[in-house]
Amino acid sequence: MSLHGQYDPQNIFALILRGDAPCYKIYEDDQVLAFLDIFPQSTGHVLVIPKASRARNILEVEPTVLSAMMSAVQYLTRIIVDELQPDGVQIAQFNGAVAGQTVYHIHMHIIPRWEGLHAGEHGRGKAEAEELRALQARLVERIRKA
């Protein structure tokens, strides 16, 4: 898919927002939803998406929506670092297929990184459901205590 195009209301993130597809939700407020990536590049890989925007990428997203997303990314990154103790954190956002975008609903990736452990390839290697549920519970509890 190209960098430019029409928003597809049947994309997986739109389905998740409507409740038509499941996710491992860790955080939600009136503007954003955050959940574990089921094809994680590392343990704790979280996706942050806007709830009301129909933007496909950073070229289309409303500045106020982008601001709310980044505020949530910073908050959740602090939670993830506190809980998982990674050596670093990668924050990523892809625009267009050539850049690695696979879902055309703007989203941010929070990817914890550990020294000596190489991150998996974007969009490959599905995580085990039980591992995701356990991690979800840990992060939700950490957020609840924050």
Kindly report, residue by residue over 63-94, the tens digit of the pLDDT.
999 999 999 999 999 999 999 999 999 999 99
- The CATH number of the domain holding residue 113 is 3.30.428.10
What's the whole-model pTM score?
0.95
- Residue 46 pLDDT more than 80? yes
Side-chain-side CA neighbours of residue 55 (13 Å): 21
| Residue-level pLDDT at 1 | 62
| 102 occurs within a structural domain | yes
| 6 occurs within a structural domain | no
Contact status, residue 57 vs residue 96, Cβ threshold 8 Å: yes
Domain that holds residue 48: 12-145
| 4 occurs within a structural domain | no
How many residues are listed for the chain in this entry?
146
| 3 occurs within a structural domain | no
Domain count, the chain: 1
| Residue-level pLDDT at 54 | 96
| Residue-level pLDDT at 110 | 98
Question: 107 an active-site residue?
Answer: yes
Contact status, residue 5 vs residue 60, Cβ threshold 8 Å: no
| 129 occurs within a structural domain | yes
- Residue 12 pLDDT more than 70? yes
| 139 occurs within a structural domain | yes
| 130 occurs within a structural domain | yes
Q: Which residue, chain included where needed, has tokens 């356990």?
A: 134
| 5 occurs within a structural domain | no
Q: What are the structure tokens assigned to 10, written together? A: 């049947």
Residue among 107, 109, 118, 122 flagged as catalytic: 107
